[in-house]
Amino acid sequence: MINLLYFAWVRERIGVPKEAYETQATTVADLIDELIQREERYAVAFSDLGSIRVALDQDLIDDFSASLSGVREVAFFPPMTGG
């Protein structure tokens, strides 16, 4: 079981801020593919992966091929701007 967290417009499109999810995915890309196949709202949220950032156990990653081995939490959010 992995905890999925959604922030900002990702949360708005999916409709929940977080969920516990049982996955067979081995990478972030595999997880996103599973979610897209799950329901249309996920397909909409993940339609532009260039606009999605991901953190694994609160560590920002740059590569969606990152392993989910041992990961307990995956957060999805849009790019942040400074100010």
pTM comes to 0.93
pLDDT at 80: 74
In tens, the pLDDT along 40-52 reads: 999 999 999 999 9
- The rounded distance, in Å, linking the Cα atoms of 25 and 15 is 22
Task: Indicate if the alpha-carbon torsion angle 30, 31, 32, 38 is positive or negative.
Answer: positive
In tens, the pLDDT along 1-47 reads: 999 999 999 999 999 999 999 999 999 999 999 999 999 999 999 99
Fold of the 2-77 domain:
Ubiquitin-like (UB roll) (3.10.20)
Sorted by where each begins, the domain ranges of the chain are 2-77
Among the listed residues 77, 72, 64, 79, the one whose alpha carbon sits nearest the alpha carbon of residue 34: 64
Per DSSP, the residues of 24-72 read --SBHHHHHHHHHHH-HHHHHHTS-GGG-EEEETTEEES-TT-B-TT--
